[in-house]
Structures are given as C-alpha cells and as structure tokens.
Chains A and B, each alone.
Chain A
C-alpha cells in the first residue's frame, strides 16, 4: 500500500489512507527522504488521520522521517493524530518527543509557514538544504 505524496509549493504532504504494515511505513520513509532531497523541500507533513493505531514502529518511523528530513533542511509536522490514538500512545510511553505535531493539515501548514518564515528571517547560517 503506497502512500500518496503530494508536492505543495515547498512542502511535501504524505496522506496515509489506511492501515500500514511495517514494510509500508519503511517504504514511506524512503520515499519521503528521497523526495525531500530531490525537490529541496522545506517542509514535510505526514497526515495520520486515518491511522487508528500508532505503535512503537510507527512512532519510530515518524521520528526517523523527521530526523532525516531535518538533516536535509526540512521541517516535519505530524498531523491528525486521533484523540484515542494519542491516549494509547502516551500509555505505551511513546511521546514523539522532538517531533512537531499539529491538529490537522491546516494547522500543520500554518506551523510550517511560521517555521520557514523564522528561518528566512534568521538568514543564512541555518542548515543548508542541499
């Protein structure tokens, strides 16, 4: 099950449509990293609204995506975590610490806009996007 990845301006948006196996998640990670590099993306949004469970592997993968994207100069936001999923996650001890989260796509885009704006304001010296 391949996850569709859209390009919107300088951002990449990955919308998960249904339950993903571990292999699917790994594939998503590879696909995103590749595109971040190819398009010199400044932001990545992963929409997990459709996921009704997020376990340790899913969380680890999302963290990997955020980490690798940042190394390539892109900020990542995870959006659409369902209330029950969030609750189960914290009980499991998974906190997505260090990864930005937002309520939904709209909020995620708004967040990225602020982030990239800040980055531009700060001028050169930030991580290059090569």
Chain B
C-alpha cells in the first residue's frame, strides 16, 4: 500500500502541526482513492442503480458521468479548492437537467459517493481505530463541502434555466402584430410587472423601427390591474413611440382606468384614446389614409 510522505503522526496540540497532519492524511486518502478508482467507481455505480437514481440516463451515460464526477471529487479533496468543482457542477447540470434529472437525484448520487468512499476507508483502516478517526476528521468536512458545492451548483443552474424559460414565455405572450402597412397593434393581456412592462416597451419600439410604423394601437382591454406604475409605463411607452415618429392610440380604456390615469396626473389630452380596439384600428387607418394622400405626389414610392 503506497503512502505518500511520512507516516501520519498522532495529532499534536500545536494547531500548525495539526494542519500539517490533516494535509498529510488527505494526501494519503487521495492516494488510496486514486489507486482504487476502478472498483470504487463500480461500487458507486451499482449503488446508484440500486437506489434507482438517474433513471433518465443510460448505463453508459451514467458510467461516463460517474467517471468525471469521481475524478473531480478526488481532485477537490486533493487541492482543497472548489472553484473547479463548482464550474464542473454547473457544466454537468447544464447537460443533465434537459435530460430530466432532478435535484434529489444529484444530491443522492453525491451522498452515495461520499458513503462509498467512507466505507472503503473503514475497510482500509479498520485495524487502527485511532487512525481511522483522524482520517475521517480530515475527510468529512471536505466531503460535505463537496456535496454542498455540487448541490448548490445544480440548483443555481436549474434556477437559471427556469428564468430563461420565463423570459421566453414573456416574449411570446406580448406579441406586437403588424396588421397593415405602417400600423402595429399591441394587445396587452394579463398582469404587468415592471420587468414585463419594460420588455413590452422595448419590443414595441424595436418593432416600430423595423416596420416603420406610423401608428400604433395599444389595447389595454385585457390588462388585469392598472395601478400608477403600470399607468406610468404606458405613458412612457406612448412618449417613446412618439420620439420614433409614431402616433399611439390607446384603446380599451375603461372609465375606471381613465380615472386612475387622471388621478396620477396623466394628461389624457396628450394621449389619443378610443373606446375599443376596432374603433382604434379605424382611427389608425383614418390617420394613415389622411397622411398618405398628400404625400403620394411627393414620396418616391407612390
């Protein structure tokens, strides 16, 4: 049995020596784990299957990932630094989350590895109870930190993916429609939080530019609740649209909402409002029609 460095001494009261002996113990432990890599990894894979974890993956895939996890685990023990492990954990998570692997599975397999390695340490040092204790003293904090790092990395990655999906949903649920040339319609439905409001505005402004829209009809019939924040966003959207040369018609304004707007100081005379969407579109066409006629003689595209 190869051991690196000197034989471990019994721990001294001196903390410096204690740290050194911990380091020596860890080195010994790491050497053992490396030497018995093959059988420990197989034992671990067996346990994973028995515990019915990672059912979404094939045996080959489990084996491949198990190898990486094992090596990263041992390396973290060896170096005592966890950045590489953290990066690996996120990387791993990015790969397995789309496969349907869940948090409890990831935590489960890391804990199983911890157990497999601990058992192997019992096996090796069972004749020297004192040494076994010291080895475990060195091993346990590191192993727990590893389990923690991997679990947290996995959860953070999950949260990132969920946020991305929410973002995608938000984009989908606020379509800017081009129904006629130079005319855009933006029906707003549901609850508007500040983030969504901002996204709405940005999307609309980009669409105005892309479609060279001259009139925008914003329909707020479906807006769940109009408070002063939402009202402010609406006003900002109208003003920003105007800066891009577009006229905005707001439709679906209930008397209550009109009241809210007036109460927060919105000058409704600045905002063109029409009762319903249909009326708004007609007004928009009228505006466009009116503007087109005298220009036909003057603009190149007649």
Contacts and interface: CB of A to CB of B under 8 A. Distances in A.
Bind each other: yes
Interface of A: 79, 81-84, 86-87, 89-91, 95-96, 101-104, 106-107, 110-111, 113-114, 117
Most buried by A among B241, B245, B291, B299: B245
Given A103-B212, A110-B299, A91 B244 contact: no
Interface of B: 201-202, 205-206, 208-209, 212, 214, 236, 239-246, 291, 294-295, 298-299
B246 A113 contact: no
Given A87-B205, A103-B214, A104-B212, 7 more contacts: A84-B202, A90-B240, A103-B208, A103-B209, A106-B299, A110-B299, A111-B245
A89 B208 contact: no
B240 A110 contact: no
27 contacts: A81-B243, A81-B244, A82-B209, A83-B202, A83-B205, A83-B206, A83-B208, A83-B240, A83-B244, A86-B205, A87-B202, A87-B205, A87-B236, A87-B240, A89-B243, A90-B240, A95-B243, A101-B243, A104-B245, A107-B212, A107-B245, A110-B298, A110-B299, A111-B245, A113-B295, A114-B291, A114-B295
Nearest to A112: B298
- Interface residues of A: mostly helix, strand, loop or mixed? helix
Contacts of A103: 208-209, 212, 214, 244-246
Nearest to B212: A103
Contacts of A79: 245
Contacts of A114: 291, 294-295
Q: Which 8 A-B pairs have the closest CB atoms?
A: A83-B205, A102-B245, A103-B245, A86-B243, A86-B240, A90-B236, A90-B240, A90-B239
Given A86-B205, A103-B245, A107-B245, A95 B239 contact: yes
